[in-house]
Amino acid sequence: MQNRRRFIRNSLLTVAGAGLSAGISRTLQNLPETGGRSIIRTMGKTNISLPVVSMGTSSTSNPALIKAALDNGIKLFATAAAYQEGNNEKMLGEVFKDIPRDSFLVLTNSFDIQWIDTPTGILKPGFRQDELLKRARSSLKRLGVEYLDFFTQPFAARRESVIHDQALRAMETLKHEGITRFTGIATHRHEPEAIRAAADSGVHDFIMTSYNFMKENREELGEAIQYAADAGLGIIAMKTMAGAYFDKERTRPVNTRAALKWVIQNNNIHTTVPDCTSFDQLSQNIGTMAEPGLTDGEWEDLYPSSGQHYSEIFCQQCGICLQDCPYNVDIPTLMRSYMYAYGYHNMTLAKTTLTAAGLAGNPCSGCTACLANCRMGNDIRKKIYDVTGIPEISEGDTKDGNYLSYNNSPDK
């Protein structure tokens, strides 16, 4: 295992660090692509109006990027207590302390992933409301705010994970005690079922859902989103870039501008939270609102006439592979970690996800052949091997989240 860790560590590749050059700063200040225009939508019964492009922050530790987003009209910032072990919230707090509270909105969650059975999203018996309240107050302290705007229950999947008595009572308490203004769910898996359950709960105010052009269930997902919007819930789209690349070697990039445009074509999507790691990405995301219509070329990039894209990076999170694995390995979480590492170049988030889900080792080391089948045709065993060892990489190697291993052979 030591040799394995050394191989991964020594084969990491870093991408360029972010710095606010004068040229990029001028680009953001002048916004030549947008002319300063934004598409504004209202988050259902919350009555909060905000640009259709917001910002996910899990992949950045750069306060200058957050300041630039604020200066250019971004209002909502989506984080979580688990991101960078709380340091992402602290970084945001350093920016927020110098600006009026009504000039920004913040979304977070403070659930301990160990409370959650991640394949189903159902809370385990160890979940405690008092501990959640304690953790939520810690998020307030790190963010330096007196209240949150949006608080999510993460990894919600099946209906019973949403209509969960203890979880719903905890969410009501968070609102009653003024810790958050609004509560909702975040869902990566079985999204239509979870979304409809949130709309039926009588407690939640919004949903945050995986939604992009690669989702095979996008028609069913769109119908569920319509159901929730009709019930007055705000709708936030995440995972809008579908992994950012189609291949592990990052030679086939997703047209991320077109991908974001595809999402905002749905008028029921009130805002999006694409992760942003550079000023160029920020400028592109904001600029998307000026010309949201998909050109013929962009449509071809997303849905080529030659046939459907094959993606090594994006996992549908359908869970069909779980039916085949005799050891009940949480394959979807491993595949999501693979996307963080090889698509988004966020090794830190991949490491955190694997460790928190108890997937620090190689769960397939005792198998001579993988019985789990991916409906997309991916080699599950090989991809699991590619994320094995990530939790053992030192903090120094992952501190910026901008590292990548290209080791891809189970024979090494």
- What's the confidence (pLDDT) of residue 157? 92
- What's the confidence (pLDDT) of residue 340? 87
What contacts 264, CB < 8 A, 6 or more positions away? Answer: 39, 52, 53, 272, 288, 289, 292
Q: Which of 336, 373, 369, 319 is nearest to 119 (CA)?
A: 319
295 shares its domain with 322: no
- Label each residue of 44-97 as H, E or C: HHHCCEEECECEECCCCCCHHHHHHHHHCCCCEEECCCCHHHHHHHHHHHHHHC
pLDDT mean over 15-25:
33
- What's the confidence (pLDDT) of residue 222? 97
78 shares its domain with 125: yes
Is the CB of residue 176 less than 8 Å from the CB of residue 219? no
How many structural domains comprise the chain?
2
334 shares its domain with 192: no
Residues in a beta bridge with 187: 209
- Based on its alpha-carbon atoms, the radius of gyration of the chain, rounded to whole angstroms, reads 20
Highest mean pLDDT among 115-119, 210-214, 348-352, 408-412: 210-214
182 shares its domain with 292: yes
380 shares its domain with 247: no
Q: Which two tokens stand for residue 25?
A: 């700063």
110 shares its domain with 176: yes
266 shares its domain with 364: no
Q: How far apart are CA 313 and CA 299, in angstroms?
A: 20
324 shares its domain with 376: yes
- What's the confidence (pLDDT) of residue 394? 54
Asked if pLDDT for residue 13 goes beyond 70, the answer is no
Residue pLDDT, tens place only, 252-296: 999 999 999 999 999 999 999 999 999 999 999 999 999 999 999
Q: What percent of the chain has pLDDT over 70?
A: 86
pTM (2 d.p.)? 0.85
166 shares its domain with 237: yes
Q: How confident is the model at residue 137 (pLDDT cuts 50, 70, 90)?
A: very high
**Residue 53 resides in a domain:** yes
Asked if pLDDT for residue 303 goes beyond 80, the answer is yes
**Residue 210 resides in a domain:** yes
Q: How confident is the model at residue 354 (pLDDT cuts 50, 70, 90)?
A: confident
CATH number of the domain encompassing residue 190: 3.20.20.100
- What's the confidence (pLDDT) of residue 355? 80
**Residue 354 resides in a domain:** yes
Asked if pLDDT for residue 39 goes beyond 90, the answer is yes
User: Which region among 77-81, 95-99, 340-344, 375-379 has the lowest average model confidence (pLDDT)?
Assistant: 375-379
pLDDT mean over 132-150:
97
**Residue 16 resides in a domain:** no
Asked if pLDDT for residue 152 goes beyond 90, the answer is yes
241 shares its domain with 126: yes
Q: Which domain holds residue 364?
A: 2-11+311-404
H-assigned helices in 191-293: 191-200, 218-230, 256-264, 279-287
Residue pLDDT, tens place only, 215-251: 999 999 999 999 999 999 999 999 999 999 999 999 9
